[in-house]
């Protein structure tokens, strides 16, 4: 069913507000995605603080043009495009969409591109972003790297003390 001009304006305003508030966005082709799978995707995205919305290509193009988002051209996209808006974490929704797209049985669902810090990013860049370790994993790695020299120093010092104890114990046994 075709949208009236007023409905299109409401969608335009809504999408523009969402783009203004987002930390990152992923654009997807949802061709062939069943209602059941769509609801599953929405549920997964809600867990990570993101939202999924279907937007017509013409409306999305006008929103992007009006929002001054660089390097993003929607000409090659389908008639309607799914947009995942991330409001909290920049990477978690991207990972969720990427993992969802890798599920078996999803024929037409694929990542088309994205928006990060008001700049358009390609499909490859979105996938590279999805493959990055999470913030928590990066912090754990950093902490392990910072802790490694201290642990090594403690092991070296304890080795000297152990050798001293062994030497004293050997002297004691020799005298006894």
Task: Enumerate the domain spans of the chain.
Answer: 5-132, 133-176
Please tell me the predicted confidence (pLDDT) of residue 43: 93
Please tell me the predicted confidence (pLDDT) of residue 132: 86
Domain 5-132 is found in CATH 3.30.70.1730: yes
| Half-sphere exposure in the Cβ direction for 16 (13 Å, CA) | 14
Please tell me the predicted confidence (pLDDT) of residue 46: 92
Distance of alpha carbon 115 from alpha carbon 132, whole angstroms? 17
Please tell me the predicted confidence (pLDDT) of residue 175: 86
pLDDT beneath 70: ranges in the chain? 1, 79, 104-105
pTM for this one? 0.72
Distance of alpha carbon 26 from alpha carbon 121, whole angstroms? 9
Please tell me the predicted confidence (pLDDT) of residue 105: 66
84 φ/ψ sector (left φ>0, alpha ψ -120 to 50, else beta): beta
43 φ/ψ sector (left φ>0, alpha ψ -120 to 50, else beta): alpha
Please tell me the predicted confidence (pLDDT) of residue 1: 58
């Amino acid at each position: 069913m075709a949208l009236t001009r007023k409905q299109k304006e409401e969608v335009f305003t809504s999408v523009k507000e969402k783009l203004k508030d987002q930390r990152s966005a992923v654009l997807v082709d949802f061709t062939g995605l069943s209602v059941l799978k769509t609801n599953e995707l929405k549920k997964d995205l809600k867990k990570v603080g993101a939202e999924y919305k279907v937007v017509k290509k013409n409306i999305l193009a006008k929103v992007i043009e009006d929002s001054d988002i660089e390097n993003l051209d929607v000409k090659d996209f389908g008639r309607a495009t799914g947009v995942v808006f991330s409001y909290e974490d920049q990477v978690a929704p991207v990972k969720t969409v990427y993992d969802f797209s890798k599920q078996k049985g999803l024929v037409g669902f694929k990542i088309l591109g994205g928006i990060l810090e008001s700049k358009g990013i390609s499909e490859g860049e979105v996938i590279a972003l999805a493959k990055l370790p999470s913030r928590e994993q990066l912090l754990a790695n950093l902490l392990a790297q910072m802790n490694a020299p201290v642990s090594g120093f403690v092991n070296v010092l304890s080795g000297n003390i152990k050798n001293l104890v062994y030497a004293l114990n050997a002297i004691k046994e020799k005298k006894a």
